[in-house]
Structure 1
């Protein structure tokens, strides 16, 4: 289960970035705001073993040529930031909230820690967020509902605690929600039934409790549902058969009983 960061199809990520390019204005504002936003990250990175940001993010080159940065072809605004697997250590500053055209944000497999600044809520164009495999702490922010275009959200392998905010249920475009290996607890929110486009849901290896909400069985597009290693209880009803697209179901290591004629995985 822990390898889902590697398994997510690259073609989906590429499609998201291309879609960003296609939907942005052809206007060409200057890049000063984006440059300052990214330079604001540099002092918050306390460990950059390969000196990638230190040597590459400089005034000598255009921000659009910086490592990990992709700009729109027609307007030179930053639409993607991908710092995957660079062994960076540090915190996320509020400055990143000024990347107003950002569609794709991927910083997985690093050592970022601390909480997420509320200024990120300004990134209303985001379609893809991957904060997986870091050391972030705190509750999942309720202001994530600001990402109205979001299609994929990866928060796995961190130290998030508390409950899943009901506000995530307003993300009607969400297709992928990956929260495994955190310290989340409480019940799975009923608001999840509003995620009508949800295809992948990974909540395993947390401390979720209570019964499986009937709301889960209203997510008719679900293909993968993974809830293993929690404290869920009660009966898995026949309603699970309503998930006709479901190809993978993981419920082991809970306190669940099945009404199905076939045993649970």
Structure 2
């Protein structure tokens, strides 16, 4: 946090340097990293964030077996990270921040496979302490934590984070990321990643913040993620996710902001509800309504039949009690001879 400027590559470190921390964050340094940095075999912290360093990924750092913290954020690093030649790179690395650069290509699967300090088997060998120098002065770094930048005045040895946000990484999120079960923070946002959210992320049982926003992820949100009981910050916004949002445990605490920008998602936290969440009438109510409707129809029919019968009997009684129904008699007398004549004609035709 000064105004130092010039080329960082001009620095020269002697052989077998005892340097344990190189912290140049927040200056105006340029150029590539100095090749002689590999002489610092005791180096634990490398923080050169927020400068103007223009370089590809420094693979030479793989030989520094004591590195615990690498912060290259907010520089001009570029190119892919897939040319690793080391068998076991970065065995003690616990904090990796490459955010706000221009790294390209797929995510560095080889590194994820070998970050053994982020795997649960290493937790037994890591004491709960803060990192400090030979004069017992605590180291501090600035990281992006849970959506905002925060200065960690003391770095816990058990704290683990991977931040690769704001780069040009492409391709899927590898399943192998699920091996890093001691991760606290994971941020892959603002890249060109595609494919599904791997269900193996549910293995990250210590995870407190997960940011997969502003990418091109598709498919459903895995139900297995509800098992992440320490998860307090989740951001899956602005992808192409579809289907219902999982319910239960921590997922019941996440608001609409965690999922906006996914037009295919539905759920109780969104304005778009899932079809199985829409209120339906119970079957008993439907049957009751159907029965009531049927009873009502029969009632109307019976009422009409009863009224007609009573009316007909009443009219018949009045007519026949007042005298001979002349119109009925005339009708019978007129129609009778006609029918007889038709029958007679028919009889003669059969005889011929």
Does TM-score exceed 0.5, indicating one fold?
A: yes
Which has the higher relative contact order, 1 or 2, with Cα contacts under 8 A spaced 6 or more apart? Answer: 1
| Aligned-partner Cα distance in 2 for 1:61–1:53 | 20
Alignment equivalent of 1:118, drawn from 80, 84, 102: 84
* Residue 51 of structure 1: how far off its partner (Å): 2.1
Identify if the C-alpha distance between structure 1 residues 139 and 260 changes in structure 2 by more than 3 Å, giving closer, same or farther. same
- Pick one of 224, 236, 253 that aligns with 2:233: 224
Picking from 236, 251, 261, the partner of 1:253 is 261
SS in 1 for 2:70: strand
Relative to structure 1, is the Cα distance of residues 257 and 245 closer, same or farther in structure 2, using a 3 angstrom cutoff?
closer
Which of residues 83, 94, 100 is equivalent to 1:127? 94
- Give 1:14's aligned residue: none
Deviation, structure 1 residue 159? 0.5
Deviation digits for residues 100-145 of structure 1 (CA, Å, limit 9, x no counterpart): 0100000000010111242465111001000000000110122212
Match of 1:190 among 199, 202, 205: 199
Query: What is the CA–CA distance in structure 1 between the aligned matches of 2:79 and 2:41, rounded to whole Å?
Result: 31
1:151-205 alpha-carbon deviations (Å, 9 max, x no partner): 2000000000000000000101011000110000100001111010111100100
Distance between the aligned counterparts of 1:236 and 1:184, measured in 2? 21
Give how far 1:99 is off: 0.5
Match of 2:6 among 51, 56, 81: 51
Matches of 1:234 and 1:58, distance apart in 2:
55
**Pair 1:157-2:112 in alignment:** no
Structure 1 CA distance for aligned equivalents of residues 218 and 51 of structure 2: 36
Residue 177 of structure 1 pairs with residue 186 of structure 2: yes
The residue that corresponds to 1:235 in the other structure is: 244
In the other structure, the counterpart of 1:99 is 64
Contact kept in structure 2, 1:52 and 1:67, CA below 8 Å = no
> Quick one: distance in 2 between partners of 1:101 and 1:213?
36
- Flag structure 1 segments of 5+ consecutive residues without an equivalent: 1-48, 70-74
Larger Rg: 2
Deviation digits for residues 23-75 of structure 1 (CA, Å, limit 9, x no counterpart):
xxxxxxxxxxxxxxxxxxxxxxxxxx922524444449956288438xxxxx9
Higher strand share: 1
Give the distance between the partners of 1:123 and 1:76, measured in 2 at CA.
Answer: 12
Residue aligned with 1:81, SS: strand
Question: How far is the alpha carbon of 1:92 from its aligned partner?
Answer: 1.9
Residue among 146, 164, 170 paired with 2:114: 146
Q: Distance in 1 between matches of 2:116 and 2:20?
A: 29
| More helix by percentage | 2
Residues 234 and 255, structure 1, Cα contact 8 Å, conserved in 2: no
Number of residues of Structure 1 aligned to a counterpart in Structure 2: 209
Deviation digits for residues 202-259 of structure 1, max 9, x if unmatched?
Answer: 010000000111122121111111011100011114x2x3117956651001024434
Change in CA separation of 1:63 and 1:231 when aligned onto 2, cut-off 3 Å: same
Counterpart for residue 78 of structure 1: 43
